[in-house]
Structure 1
Amino acid sequence: MAKLYFRYSAMNAGKSTSLLQVAHNYEEQGQQVKLYTAVIDDRYGVGVITSRLGPQRQVDTFTPHTNFLDSVPQVACLLVDEAQFLSTAQVQQLHQVAQVRGIPVICYGLRSDFRGEPFPGSAYLLALADDIEEIKNICSCGKKATMNIRVDAEGRRIKEGEQVSIGGNESYLQACGRCFYSGAGA
């Protein structure tokens, strides 16, 4: 039976690296996969999944208007990067792709934003996913990182603003809960 998987972590834990490895493993066995990333994530170009380690791949994008029930062909596996940007309806569609069409769907994303607030897509993935896995990362203090801190160009913490601001290592730090609340992480 196919499942909907949600693999989440704080920033910089290797989610995209893991996704690219899973795609490689399927393709090495002669199986077709379909990969998506959010159209708004243009850090390395639109429609590009890039690992901080270097590997990258051109993929399809999803927008708020993408209907996965209409756009996913019959493949061995569907992989979604930046899954926190999915709408609640899209998470329901992906659950249906797994449950009804029998295609495993593996989503990778953040659980919460820089304020500790859940992303709507992540909240629904936590509710509907058949399998949930945390990808571990560490805080600068050495504890397990579970939170994200947004910083400005000078490295000062930003505590207010829009939920979505695309950025990488220059804009975000991973932190444990203690450092997140004490401000020690930034």
Structure 2
Amino acid sequence: MGSSKTANALMVRYNYVEKGKKVVLLKPKCENRDGEKTIRSRIGLEDPCEFAEEFLEQYSGEHYDCIIVDEVQFLAAEVINRLSDLVDTYGITVICYGLRTDFRSELFPGAKRLMELADDIEQIKTICWCGKRAHFNARILNGEMVTEGEQVQLGGNESYMALCRKHYKERQIKPQK
């Protein structure tokens, strides 16, 4: 959370389009915070997109230079398998953005499968309130960090906070007075 994953996805899409390349932007069908077929970053960038699941069901070999997927952690492992098939069968570049772990520090199924199949993995760095690198996504409810609940609960800054390991373990979401 707060690492500019979506902004990066939209900027990469822009770079491909600017070079005259054919690119499609995808997101999971369950991700509806920004509207049905829209991807929007917190800094105000936005573009239309398709649902990954529908796109892959209908895909018939059409040429794309790049497929960019946002919120990849919410995709099923089978969808990740199909994305890797596009790379191997059609030579399409597929770039995915998403979280590795949930608020309990457990892998999302989609992220797990992506980690198993990806050719390259790059982390987009973000920082904890203390300034250290943040690896954990804390779920916040009524001003407190929670570690129980459904794995998928859509939300933004009001519901999640990036923390370093130390502060995640200590459940410390802000400096102590």
Q: TM-score, normalised by structure 1?
A: 0.88
Q: What corresponds to 1:4 in structure 2?
A: none
Q: CA deviation at 1:69?
A: 6.5
Once residues 112 and 149 of structure 1 are traced to their aligned partners in structure 2, the CA distance between those partners, rounded to angstroms, is: 10
Q: What corresponds to 2:91 in structure 1?
A: 102
Q: Tell me whether 1:158 sits opposite 2:168 in the alignment.
A: no
Q: TM-score, normalised by structure 2?
A: 0.93
Aligned length in residues? 173
Q: CA deviation at 1:71?
A: 2.2
1:140 to 129, 137, 159: 129
Once residues 67 and 116 of structure 1 are traced to their aligned partners in structure 2, the CA distance between those partners, rounded to angstroms, is: 30
SS in 2 for 1:131: coil
Q: Tell me whether 1:76 sits opposite 2:65 in the alignment.
A: yes
Once residues 23 and 35 of structure 1 are traced to their aligned partners in structure 2, the CA distance between those partners, rounded to angstroms, is: 7
Once residues 30 and 159 of structure 1 are traced to their aligned partners in structure 2, the CA distance between those partners, rounded to angstroms, is: 46
Q: What corresponds to 2:38 in structure 1?
A: 48
SS in 1 for 2:17: helix
| Aligned 8 A contact 2:9 2:70 in 1 | yes
Q: CA deviation at 1:185?
A: 2.2
Matches within 5 A, 1:88-99: 88-99=77-88
Highest RCO, 1 vs 2 (Cα 8 Å, sep ≥ 6) = 1
Q: Tell me whether 1:185 sits opposite 2:168 in the alignment.
A: no
1:127 to 112, 116, 120: 116
Question: Percent identity at matched positions?
Answer: 40
Q: Tell me whether 1:62 sits opposite 2:24 in the alignment.
A: no
Once residues 52 and 79 of structure 2 are traced to their aligned partners in structure 1, the CA distance between those partners, rounded to angstroms, is: 10
Structure 1 gap ranges (5+): 1-10
| Structure whose residues are more often strand by fraction | 1
Once residues 157 and 33 of structure 2 are traced to their aligned partners in structure 1, the CA distance between those partners, rounded to angstroms, is: 11
| Aligned 8 A contact 2:9 2:97 in 1 | yes
Post-superposition CA distance 1:135-184 (Å, at most 9, x none): 000001111001000012x3211211000000000100001111111111
Letter paired with 1:60? E
RMSD: 1.4
Structure 2 gap ranges (5+): none
Q: CA deviation at 1:67?
A: 6.7
| Aligned 8 A contact 2:13 2:23 in 1 | yes
Once residues 91 and 36 of structure 2 are traced to their aligned partners in structure 1, the CA distance between those partners, rounded to angstroms, is: 29
